[in-house]
């Protein structure tokens, strides 16, 4: 499994998430929803989408539509992380099935993959559309749905991600984890996220390792050359 935002591309770099969160918050306030001043520091638009859904269905739908529109626009400008195409090509060449997973709307993810000629290299695309809106960080649900879509057990799957938080969730969900060093998390943070997570320096290094390690060798640590 390949995590979408941050790993495949930096979608949020093309979005003003703080302004989007502020717009949703202001709309809710205008509708008469009163909130603690502490919520002013929350700049995650998806958190506000979840809050809007607790108000009523119409508020939730409007907030979701605002975020989806921003994600669709950002998908047209997002640039692939160097090595992404090589990783997906290596997976295809070695018989590894790939699902792309992320807390982003599926149409934006599909649009991005199509735009950069990557869609044919992946199978299921599992996004926010597959889960119930919640203020909690996406947990096991999307990963388990992706594993099911791949007709695989979670224990047979590996999540590739630049986020140590996502690697922790993957481990708790029964998946193996493989971290990619980035501006978001350094090697020591990724390596410390779980006891069984391996780390590579870049997507290109991962692609080279995938081509040299048979699919019958499951541990991510061996793929990473550790």
CATH number of 186's domain: 3.40.50.1000
Single residue among 59, 75, 91 that ends a domain in this structure? 75
Q: How confident is the model at residue 225 (pLDDT cuts 50, 70, 90)?
A: very low
Residues 189, 128 within the same domain: yes
Residue 45's pLDDT is 93
- Count of beta carbons in the 10 Å neighbourhood of residue 72: 15
Number of domain units in the chain: 2
* 117 shares its domain with 158: yes
Bridge partners, 150 (sequence order)? none
Characterize the bridge pairing of strands 176-180 and 158-161: parallel
End-to-end CA distance of the chain: give it in Å, rounded: 20
Backbone angles phi, psi at 118, to 5 degrees: -110, -15
84 and 47 in a single domain? The answer is: no
Are 70 and 84 in the same domain?
A: no
Higher-confidence residue of 160 and 222: namely 160
Mean pLDDT value of segment 163-189 = 84
Q: Are residues 71 and 92 in the same domain?
A: no
The strand pair at 125-126 and 100-101 is best described as parallel
Can you tell me whether residue 138 is helix, strand or coil? coil
Q: In the chain, what is the greatest distance between 2 CA atoms, to the nearest angstrom? A: 59
Whether residues 64 and 142 share a domain: the answer is no
Say yes or no: 209 and 130 in one domain.
Answer: yes
- Whether the CB-CB separation of 198 and 179 falls below 8 Å is answered with yes
- Please state the rounded mean pLDDT for residues 77-84: 95
Residues 40 and 65 in one domain: yes
Are residues 43 and 25 part of one domain? yes
Instruction: Specify whether 17 is located in the same domain as 88.
Output: no
Name 26's Cβ contacts closer than 8 Å, sequence gap at least 6: none
> Residue 186 and residue 174: Cα distance in Å, rounded?
23
User: What confidence tier does 104 reach under pLDDT thresholds 50, 70, 90?
Assistant: very high
Q: Among the three residues 23, 43, 75, which one is the final residue of a domain in this structure? A: 75
Give the residue with greater pLDDT, 187 vs 96: 96
Q: Which domain holds residue 141?
A: 2-10+79-223
Both 68 and 88 in one domain: the answer is no
Q: What backbone phi and psi angles, to 5 degrees, belong to 32?
A: 100, 5
| pLDDT value, residue 220 | 56
Residues 22 and 118 in one domain: no
Nearest to 96 by CA among 223, 219, 215: 215
Which of 24, 48, 75 finishes a domain? 75
pLDDT above 80 for 113: yes
**pLDDT of 226:** 38
């Amino acid at each position: 499994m390949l995590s979408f935002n941050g790993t495949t591309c930096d979608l949020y770099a093309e979005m003003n998430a703080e302004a989007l969160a502020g717009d949703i918050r202001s709309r809710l306030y205008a509708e008469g929803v009163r909130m603690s001043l502490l919520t002013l520091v929350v700049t995650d638009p998806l958190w506000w989408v979840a809050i809007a859904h607790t108000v009523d269905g119409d508020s939730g739908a409007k907030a979701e539509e605002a975020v989806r529109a921003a994600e669709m626009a950002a998908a047209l400008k997002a640039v692939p992380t160097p090595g992404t195409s090589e990783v997906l090509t290596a997976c295809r060449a070695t018989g590894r099935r790939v699902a792309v997973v992320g807390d982003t709307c599926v149409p934006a993810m599909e649009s991005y993959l199509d735009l950069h000629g990557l869609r044919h290299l992946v199978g299921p695309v599992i996004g926010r559309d597959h889960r119930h809106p919640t203020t909690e960080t996406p947990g096991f649900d999307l990963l388990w749905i992706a594993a099911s879509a791949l007709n695989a057990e979670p224990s047979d799957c590996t999540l590739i991600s630049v986020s140590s938080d996502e690697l922790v969730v993957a481990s708790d969900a029964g998946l193996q984890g493989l971290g990619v060093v980035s501006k978001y998390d350094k090697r020591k943070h990724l390596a410390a996220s779980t006891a069984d997570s391996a780390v590579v320096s870049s997507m290109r290094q991962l692609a080279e390792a995938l081509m040299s390690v048979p699919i019958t060798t499951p541990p991510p640590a061996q793929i990473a050359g550790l």
